[in-house]
Structure 1
Amino acid sequence: MMTDNIEILIDRIEDFSGLFKRIQLGNLDANVNVANYPFFNPKEILLLTEFFVVQNFNKIDATLIINEEIGWYITGIKLIDFCNTNFKIPHTQEQSISTAIPIMRIDVSKMDEYIHNALGFFSKYCNGKDIDILSICISEIINNVNDHSKSPHDAYIFSQYYPNVRQIKFAISDLGVGIPATVNSFLESKKQERLGDIDALKWALQKGKTVKSQLHNMGAGLDNIKTFLEGVGTLEIYTEDVYCKLFRNGKISFSRNPIVYFVGTLIEITIDVAKLDEKDETILDEFVL
């Protein structure tokens, strides 16, 4: 139902700033217009998901304004249905988009199940390719979220295969403590000097750097992802005031986060299926013989 709320127009990634400003201020009465947004990657879907989950949690009635083409996709992935049922307890919605895994509220207790299902789902699009990199990337990110983010609404994950470009994309987001704040909290506990947001993220991306040495993490974390993605994919990180992109050639760029007032952390990974190694069938062949 349409309300008298203010309308936030989102035509580009920077426009999501309006949603996060309202999350920070607690002023959530707003309708969201994405009718002219050019293309939705998993990261944009999760940005919308987080805002609507917070709205629902605070019992705010609002409207998502879409056009027919976007409406088909939003309806197909059951975005609104998911947000309407996940502001308190996890509940996965079935969807009609055959190349995507439904949006899911995720934590470590559901991680292994999600990874198992994702490997089975994407394997049909990656014949003969080794997709274990998915397991590594998803587990590292979810473990980091669980250890550090303290998100009031857990984390969310959305994954999709894009057949025209033969890419797998998935994003994981949370509304908790961002990476720079987590790093600086750790440094202060060790009587070390605080870092700016960019330097704090650089610190977190260094090999062996960790703020919490859990058995499942062991000081690797984001560096593990960097290593495994080199040559096969890209990594984007939005956290607090910093944006980082790891390119397929291993180069990394850091800049100001285009989403002002950003809360938490959003990570999107793109994997080029054609660049993946061929699956090693040697062990399987030995058993067959």
Structure 2
Amino acid sequence: MGKELTFDNLHNHLCDFTEIENGLIDVSGYDFVEPVGIAILKAIHQEINDIEIKSDPNSRFYSYLKILNEAPYDENKTYIPLEIVKSNNTNINKERLVEKIISNFKDLKSDDEEDLKKYLDYMVGEILNNAIQHSLSPIGAVITAQYFPIQGRLQIVVVDRGVGFLHNIQKRYQVNTEKDAILKALEKGVSSSPTKMYSTAIDNAGYGLYALRTIIEKTHGKLLIISNNGIVRLDRHNHITAQEIQNTGWKGSIVAFELFEDEINKINFTIEDFFRIYIWDQDEELF
């Protein structure tokens, strides 16, 4: 059986998906690859049009690669095909992705559905805002998502081919490596410039990735951020690991997160309350 690339082991296989040799990325040894890996290949191919992606035509990976690349948007499917997001279609892509994700959670009450929609609006919007407004990516951003119903797991991925975190963070802070720049960007008050993605009632200026990280921590999800050769991972136990990988050939940013249905169903408070308590420190905890 061939290898598998997943959200959890991407840091060990990144080189396979970013190393270009003689105009070719050879991933024919992989039987299955989750959306995060396919989005990486799409971003590279979007920037370098004549590059060839070699995969085993008999593998599950090959079929899934074709589906995410070629299938039209279908609200009845559990996946969002790979889409290229530019500044002029950011809201369209975000809203379509969020609506599609919401449709997979069929047991939510209307109030819970509205709350989840606002959380996802913020989380997806924040990542896209960073990719489109700050990364200087020549291709815009690649976005995709997949709901895995058996596991009750949702994976959302945004990939760009821009300058990475260090380029922007080091303009204001004393950081020298990509992994330290990611860690700094996850701190409170450090992240992106002012933006209002989902509600005029909440101004999240300076809380972008910190708020994203906090939402994921409180819902026991997972977060993966790669910037050039720096990698930061947050697991379901809220444990952070940071490392640097040499000779990956990767440039740009990869931001992916996973949410789990059993934890999502426990959300019983509005995002306005979440920001008030966990981001603005204005009240006692809700958990």
Class of the TM-score when normalised by the shorter of the 2 chains: 0.7 to 0.9
Cα offsets for 1:30-68 (capped at 9, x unmatched): 333333314312210111112222231xxx263533232
Secondary structure, counterpart of 2:80 in structure 1? strand
- Retained in 1: the 8 A contact 2:222–2:235? yes
CA RMSD of aligned residues (A): 2.9
Which of 159, 167, 178 lines up with 2:153 in the alignment? 167
Structure 2 vs 1, CA of residues 38 and 215 (structure 1 numbering), >3 Å: closer, same or farther? same
Matched, 1:35 2:14: no
Matched, 1:50 2:43: yes
What is the letter of the counterpart of residue 229 of structure 1? I
Cα offsets for 1:131-167 (capped at 9, x unmatched): 2322111001111122320011111101111111011
Which of 237, 247, 251 lines up with 1:249 in the alignment? 237
Number of residues of Structure 1 aligned to a counterpart in Structure 2: 247
Q: Which residue of 1 aligns with 2:184?
A: 203
What is the letter of the counterpart of residue 114 of structure 1? N
Which segment is superposed worse, 247-256 or 29-38? 29-38
Q: Which residue of 1 aligns with 2:282?
A: none
Give the alignment of 1:122-141 within 5 angstroms.
122-126=101-105, 127-128=107-108, 130=113, 131-132=116-117, 133-141=119-127
Give the alignment of 1:49-88 within 5 angstroms.
49-56=42-49, 60=50, 62=52, 64-68=54-58, 69-77=60-68, 79=69, 81=70
Q: Distance in 1 between matches of 2:245 and 2:238?
A: 20
Shift of residue 194 of structure 1? 4.2
Cα offsets for 1:10-38 (capped at 9, x unmatched): 9764554366454xxxxx74333333314
What is the letter of the counterpart of residue 239 of structure 1? S
Specify the structure having the higher radius of gyration (Cα): 1
Question: Following TM superposition, where does structure 1 have runs of at least 4 consecutive aligned residues deviating by more than 3 angstroms?
Answer: 9-16, 18-22, 214-217, 277-282
Cα offsets for 1:75-94 (capped at 9, x unmatched): 222x2x5xxxxxxxxxxx51
Which segment is superposed worse, 28-37 or 118-127? 28-37
Q: Distance in 1 between matches of 2:250 and 2:153?
A: 27
Question: Which stretches in structure 2 are left out of the alignment for 5+ residues?
Answer: 197-203, 271-287
- Retained in 1: the 8 A contact 2:67–2:81? no
Shift of residue 180 of structure 1? 1.7
Question: Which stretches in structure 1 are left out of the alignment for 5+ residues?
Answer: 1-8, 23-27, 82-92, 283-289
Secondary structure, counterpart of 2:183 in structure 1? helix
Which segment is superposed worse, 170-179 or 201-210? 201-210
Shift of residue 73 of structure 1? 1.7
Shift of residue 206 of structure 1? 0.5
- TM-score of the superposed pair, with normalisation by structure 2: 0.75
Structure 2 vs 1, CA of residues 265 and 180 (structure 1 numbering), >3 Å: closer, same or farther? same
Which of 213, 237, 248 lines up with 2:225 in the alignment? 237
Secondary structure, counterpart of 1:45 in structure 2? helix
- TM-score of the superposed pair, with normalisation by structure 1: 0.74
- Retained in 2: the 8 A contact 1:16–1:259? no
